[in-house]
Every structure is written in structure tokens, then in C-alpha cells.
Chains A and B, each alone.
Chain A
Amino acid sequence: MLKSTVDRVAEATPHVIARRMHGLSDRALAWLFVAPSIVLLLAVNIFPLIWTIRLSFTNFRVNRPNAEVDFVGLRNYASILSDRDIWLTMQATAHFLIWTIVLQVLIGFSLAYLINKKFRGNDLWTTIIVLPMMLSPAVVGNFWTFLYQPQIGLFNYAVGFLTGADPSSFSMIGDVKLAPWAIIIVDTWMWTPFVMLICLAGLRSIPPSIYEAAECDRASKWRQFWTITIPLVLPFLMLAVLFRGIENFKMFDLVVQLTGGGPGSITELTSINLKREAFEKWRTGYASAYAVILFVTVFGLASIYVKALNKVKQR
């Protein structure tokens, strides 16, 4: 007689284990399976978070493990929230965050809209557009440093060719005014394909019958775009903005590789500044308070964003 997989597994289970499992309820069994994940989550996520919050109220320095650790109350928080340099860092992050998201959403959606049309070589173009996203940020940072070189850089040459300016007359990563835009251009170049893919998934999920019904009602292409395409793609777009917003709020590798936070500290984003406090100045307690402030900000924003996303999905 043919045995099912369940029967074979039951027969292969040692008697000792089988006897122990026999008296367990479904609920207990479910907890038994979920428990390892919960323990792992507690150990990897929750414990470090609680430990960071605890450290944020102390003057602990990780490079002086034997020194006495004092409880300093809210002094670290007060110090961070009255520091003009950190305030400038927050503004640099806001500038980077807003412009990258605006550009990535506009270009990403436009590309998805074009790619969604049936044309020859559609798949090839999709693959080519998606290529930057697959590269390592270290590699991207490195080769864009060469592209931005005033003497030999292709970017400067292209700008010079289009505008008639002397390519060596400006330096994208050496100029205080241009450096913030240099990192925005690279991040947009790298991550627009990600937004495009999410928008493409949204566009392909719209049933053609809706457009056919709109055609029957003599709705113009413009009206179809605003009343069918945009509302149905909106949840996908919002998801893309959420992902990119959280990622760019903690942007580190690409900017360090490109500008290292310079010139001066004009492109020093919060995560770079935090790393300096924690691992260059070794002010662990202070850096922990800084990390808690950033965590609460991202957590709060993500909470209202997820609520808005659920509302849009329910419509």
C-alpha cells in the first residue's frame, strides 16, 4: 500500500519524541514552532535596542571598558538637541532625502510607464535599466568618483558638451554647492530602477478590462491616466517611497565612498555623523542617544506611513 509523506514522517519520528509531542495541544505545538524565531528576534533586535536605550543615559565609552560608567540622565539628549553641527547634519539629510525621493519617483514611474508599453526589445531594456541596482554601493561610489573628475571625468565632459562650459572649471564633489547634488544624482541613478520595478508591478496588476470600459465610455487617455492608472498604482508607489525613505535616511556607504561627508561637512548625513561619534570619538553613550533619536524618528514616520498605505489599499 502507498504511504503518504505524513505517515512516513510519523513512522520515522523516534518514539521518545513522539510520546512527548502526543500530549501537546495545537496551540502549544504552534508556540513550539514559533519560539525559535521569537528567541532569535529578541536576541538580535530587541535586546540591542534596549541596551542602546540604557547606554544613552550613561557616559560609557567603548574604548575605555574599565572606566567607571556614570548615569548622566538626559544630558546626552540635551547636548545633541542643542548642537548646531548635528542640526546642520539633519538639514543635509532632509535635502538628500526629499530630492532623491522626488526624482526617483518621477523618473521611476515614467520609466515604468514607458516599459509597460509593448515594444521590441522591451525585456532587454528592462534588464539594462535595472543593472545599476545590482551593483555594490562601494563600486558605484568608486566609479562615480572617476566620472566626476574635473580633468578626465565623463560627467564633466558631458555637462561641458551640453552647456558649453569648460569641463575642468567645476568639481562636483569638491564644490560646496555642487557636492549635495552629486550624491543625489548618484543615488537617483542607482535606485531609480528599484522604484521603476515596483511601479511596473503596479501597472501590470491593472486589469485591461478597466481601460476597455473607460474607452467605451469615451474617456480620454489623460482622464484614464488620472482616474485609473494613478489611483491603482498609488499603493505600490507609496511602498516604494517608504522603502527608499527608510533606506536613504540611514544612507552611509555610497556617500562615504563618494565624498566622505565633505567638502567640510556639507554632505555629512546623520548616519555618517553618528559613525564618527561612535567609532572615531568613541562617545558610545552620546552616540546611543543619537541613534535612539534617529530610531524614534524613522519608527514614527513609518507608523503613519503604514497607516496611510492601509487606507489607500482599502479604497
Chain B
Amino acid sequence: MTRFFNGLLHFRRSAWEMLASVLIAAGVVMLMQPFALALYSWSFVVTLLGTVMFIIVSHFPE
């Protein structure tokens, strides 16, 4: 966990890609879940944020 947060602080690709992937996955689950309309409403923002972040951080150094 410490390694992950250190990676975030030092702008390492793997840590930020992990964060972006979690956001995308959460967004997709929120989009398709049958439990809360509020989650569905915010799903696109979360997915978009994750996708844009993924595109940007894939250019960070390893």
C-alpha cells in the first residue's frame, strides 16, 4: 500500500494506471448496477475521468 501511495506521489505510471483502471471499472459497474439511480447518474463522470486519466498517465515514466 505504501508503495502504491509513493508511486502516486512520484507520478509513477503503474500506480496511476491502477487508479485510473479502478475508476473505469467502478464507472462501468455504476452504469450497469440495478440498485441506485444516483450511482447510475454519476457513472459517466467516473468512467470519463478514469479514461482520460488512463490516456494521460500511460505517458508517465515507469
- Which of A's residues lie within 8 Å of B, judged by CB? 77, 81-82, 84, 87, 90-91, 93-94, 293, 296-297, 299-301, 303-304, 307
CA of A93 to CA of B34, assembled, Å: 12
Chain A residue contacts of B28, Cβ below 8 A: 297, 300-301
Beta-carbon nearest neighbor of B32 in chain A: A94
Do A296 and B17 have beta carbons less than 8 Å apart? no
Beyond A81-B44, A87-B37, is A300–B51 a contact (Cβ under 8 Å)?
yes
**Most A-side CB within 10 Å, residue of B25, B31, B33, B47:** B31
How many positions in chain B have a CB within 8 Å of any CB in the partner chain? 23
Beta-carbon nearest neighbor of B23 in chain A: A300
Do A82 and B51 have beta carbons less than 8 Å apart? no
User: 1/0 contact trace for B1-34 toward A, CB 8 Å?
Assistant: 0000000000000000100110011011001111
Beta-carbon nearest neighbor of A88 in chain B: B34
Shortest C-beta distance, B42 to chain A (Å), equals 8
Do A297 and B31 have beta carbons less than 8 Å apart? yes
Contact of B40 among A87, A303, A304, A307 (CB under 8 A): A87
Number of A-B contacts (CB under 8 A): 51
Chain B residue contacts of A77, Cβ below 8 A: 44
Do A296 and B48 have beta carbons less than 8 Å apart? yes
CA of A304 to CA of B24, assembled, Å: 8
Beta-carbon nearest neighbor of B55 in chain A: A303
Shortest C-beta distance, B61 to chain A (Å), equals 16
Do B32 and A91 have beta carbons less than 8 Å apart? yes
Contact of A82 among B21, B34, B37, B50 (CB under 8 A): B37
CA of A93 to CA of B40, assembled, Å: 14
Do B44 and A303 have beta carbons less than 8 Å apart? no
CA of A224 to CA of B41, assembled, Å: 47
CA of A293 to CA of B41, assembled, Å: 12
Do B51 and A81 have beta carbons less than 8 Å apart? no
Chain B residue contacts of A293, Cβ below 8 A: 44
Do B41 and A296 have beta carbons less than 8 Å apart? no
Chosen A-B contacts, 12 in total, with CB atoms closer than 8 Å, are A82-B41, A84-B37, A90-B31, A90-B32, A91-B33, A297-B44, A303-B24, A303-B51, A303-B54, A303-B55, A304-B20, A304-B21
Contact of A304 among B33, B37, B54 (CB under 8 A): B54
CA of A296 to CA of B55, assembled, Å: 12
Shortest C-beta distance, B9 to chain A (Å), equals 22
Shortest C-beta distance, B25 to chain A (Å), equals 7
Do B44 and A296 have beta carbons less than 8 Å apart? yes
Chain B residue contacts of A87, Cβ below 8 A: 37, 40
CA of A271 to CA of B27, assembled, Å: 19
Chain A residue contacts of B41, Cβ below 8 A: 81-82
Beta-carbon nearest neighbor of B40 in chain A: A87
CA of A82 to CA of B39, assembled, Å: 10
Contact of A300 among B37, B42, B50 (CB under 8 A): B50
Chain A residue contacts of B54, Cβ below 8 A: 300, 303-304
Shortest C-beta distance, B37 to chain A (Å), equals 6
CA of A82 to CA of B54, assembled, Å: 26
CA of A82 to CA of B20, assembled, Å: 25
Chain B residue contacts of A301, Cβ below 8 A: 24, 28
Chain B residue contacts of A93, Cβ below 8 A: 32
